Structure 1
C-alpha cells in the first residue's frame, strides 16, 4: 500500500509555556502599571501574560528587523541607489473585541524601549473609514467595518508613502465618541523606524484583476503580521461585556453617538448589542476577517478567559 505524502503544516505550534521559553534573556521593561494603562476596557492582560507572550515576540521581531534591513542594504548596493531608512511595518489583525488595540499598544511600548530606542508609531485603520455621510450616500452605513467601508486607495497610498521614507505623512482621525471621521483633523507620521498598523481587514488581499495587471494591496507593505484569534462565542461575550462597560461610561457623554443606548433599559440595550454583533460584526468576521487568518505570520489564540493559550508561527 502506497504511503500517503506527509501533510505540510504551514505553522510551528507552541503552547504558552513553550513560547515563553523563547524569551531567552529578553528583559521586561514594562511595569504592572504600564500594562494596566495600555490595556483596553475588557482585556484583562497582566504583566505575567505580557512577559510570556510579548517578550518572546519582541525578541523575534528584532531578528526580523535585522533581516529586513540586511535585505534592503543588499538591494541598494545592487541597484546603486542611495541608502535610506525603510520603516519596518507590523500589522495586527483580528475580530472586533478580540484585543487588537491592547496588543498593538503593548508592542509599541516594548519596542520603543529597545536599547536602540527606535521611533515606533501606531496607526489604526479606523481613520481610513469613509465618513458617515459617504457611507449613508452609498447605502452601506450598516456595513461599517466591512472592506467596502474603507477608503482603500488612500490607505494603500499611506502605506506606500511610509515605506518609501516620505516625511510628514498625514492620517485622518477617527472619533469613537462621535462614531465618525473628524473633518479636517489629522495626525502626522514622520519617518518612524517601526510602524504598527492595527485593523480588521489589513490582511485582506482583495480581488485580483482578471487581466493579470499588477495591483498593490495593503498587506504587501507589511513586514510582519499578527492575527489575534478566538472562538466566536467568546468574541460575542467580550463584545457584549465591552458594550455594557461603554454604556456606563463613554455612552453617557452628551456628545456620544451612542448616547441613546445609555438611556435604554439594560434589557433593550442588551438586545441591541446582540443585534449589532449578529447582523454586522459576526458576518464581517466570518466573511472577511477570519479568512485572512491563514495569511498571518503569527497567530495568537485566546481562550475564554481572554488569555493567550497557543501560538502559531509561520514557517519561513
Structure 2
C-alpha cells in the first residue's frame, strides 16, 4: 500500500522524543505488559520516547479546545458547559490500536491526576451475530455495514451533552455481543474511542463519528507487517482456545498446521485486507496524528497534520 501523507509533517522518532522533557515514566514494565495486546511488543523506552510527548501534545490540543470554548462563550455572551475531550484511535486489525488506547488511558489519567478517563471500543456497536446472519452480513463482519452506526453516533452525542450511557459489550472469545451485559459510562473528562471504523462515513448518516473527536490518531504500518502480525495473533488465539470449547477459535484447533495457516491467510485476504484497503486506510488522512510502526512493532515515525 503506497504511503502518501498529504498535508502532514513527518517527524522521525529521534526528533520526536526531544519534544518532551525527561521525566519519571508513570508506570512499570509489569503494568505495561498487563495492558498490551498479547502479540504486541512494547517496552518502557517507547513510552518515554513516543507516548509521553504524545500526551504532552494532547494537553496542547485540550488547552486549545478550552480556550476556544471560553472565547465562544464571550462572543455569545453566555456560559458554555464544559464537554468531555474525545480522542479517536483508528487503524487496521492487528496493528496495535488496543495497546495504544489502553496505554494512553493510563498515561492521561496519571498526567491529569484529577480527571476521569474512559475507554470504549466500537466492537460493542457491532450487530449481534444472529442479526448479521439475518442480514446476510456475517461474512462482512467488521465492514461498515456490520456496525450499528446510529447507536454509536447517538452514544457520542449523549456523552458530548453530558448524559451518562450504557453500551453493549463485545467478547473476542465468543466473537459476539454478550447478551444482557453492558458497559456503564459516566460522563468523563476524557473519552478514548478505539476502532477500525471511527473515521469512516456512516451509511445514510450526515455525521461522521470523527465529528465528535477533539483529536484523532491513526496507528499505521506497512501491509506486509500487519499481515505477519495478524497471522501470529491468529495462531496464538488458537493456543488460548485449545481447551475452551466455548471459545470461537476452538473450532479451528483440530485443524492441521497447514490448514490453520490457510484459514488465517484466507481470512486476512478476503476480510481484513479487503476492509483495510477499501474502508480503513482511505480514512487515514482524516487523522490529526499518524503513528507509523516499523517491523519490530516500534513507532519509527510520527506524522502531524499541518
Same fold per superposition (TM over 0.5):
yes
Unaligned runs of 5+ in 2: none
CA contact (8 A) 2:89 2:217 kept: yes
Task: State how far apart, in whole Å, the 2-side matches of 1:295 and 1:252 are.
Answer: 42
Q: In the TM superposition, what is the alpha-carbon distance from 1:136 to its structure 2 partner?
A: 0.6
Q: 1:242 aligns with which of 212, 233, 237?
A: 233
CA contact (8 A) 1:54 1:107 kept: yes
Task: State how far apart, in whole Å, the 1-side matches of 2:112 and 2:280 are.
Answer: 35
Aligned positions of 1:15-54 closer than 5 A: 15-54=12-51
Give the secondary structure class of the aligned counterpart of 2:86. strand
Moved more, 16-25 or 138-147: 16-25
Q: In the TM superposition, what is the alpha-carbon distance from 1:76 to its structure 2 partner?
A: 3.2
Give the secondary structure class of the aligned counterpart of 2:253. helix
CA contact (8 A) 1:26 1:56 kept: no
* Counterpart for residue 156 of structure 1: 153
Task: State how far apart, in whole Å, the 2-side matches of 1:146 and 1:314 are.
Answer: 27
Task: State how far apart, in whole Å, the 2-side matches of 1:233 and 1:240 are.
Answer: 11
* Counterpart for residue 122 of structure 1: 119
Does residue 295 of structure 1 match 2:291? no
Q: Report the CA distance shift for 1:82/1:89 in structure 2 as closer, same or farther (over 3 A).
A: same
Does residue 260 of structure 1 match 2:256? no
Aligned positions of 1:144-293 closer than 5 A: 144-166=141-163, 168-206=164-202, 215-250=206-241, 252-293=243-284
Moved more, 185-194 or 9-18: 9-18
* Counterpart for residue 142 of structure 1: 139
Q: Report the CA distance shift for 1:251/1:86 in structure 2 as closer, same or farther (over 3 A).
A: farther
Task: State how far apart, in whole Å, the 1-side matches of 2:129 and 2:183 are.
Answer: 20
Q: In the TM superposition, what is the alpha-carbon distance from 1:66 to its structure 2 partner?
A: 1.2
> Pairwise CA RMSD of aligned residues?
1.6
Q: Report the CA distance shift for 1:81/1:137 in structure 2 as closer, same or farther (over 3 A).
A: farther
Q: C-alpha deviations, 1:140-162, integer Å up to 9, x for none?
A: 11010000000000000001111
Q: In the TM superposition, what is the alpha-carbon distance from 1:84 to its structure 2 partner?
A: 2.6
Q: Which runs of 4+ in 1 moved over 3 A?
A: 76-83, 206-209
CA contact (8 A) 2:118 2:185 kept: yes
Task: State how far apart, in whole Å, the 2-side matches of 1:25 and 1:80 are.
Answer: 42
Task: State how far apart, in whole Å, the 2-side matches of 1:217 and 1:287 are.
Answer: 17
- Between Structure 1 and Structure 2, how many residues are aligned? 302
CA contact (8 A) 1:252 1:262 kept: no
Q: What TM-score, normalized to structure 2?
A: 0.94
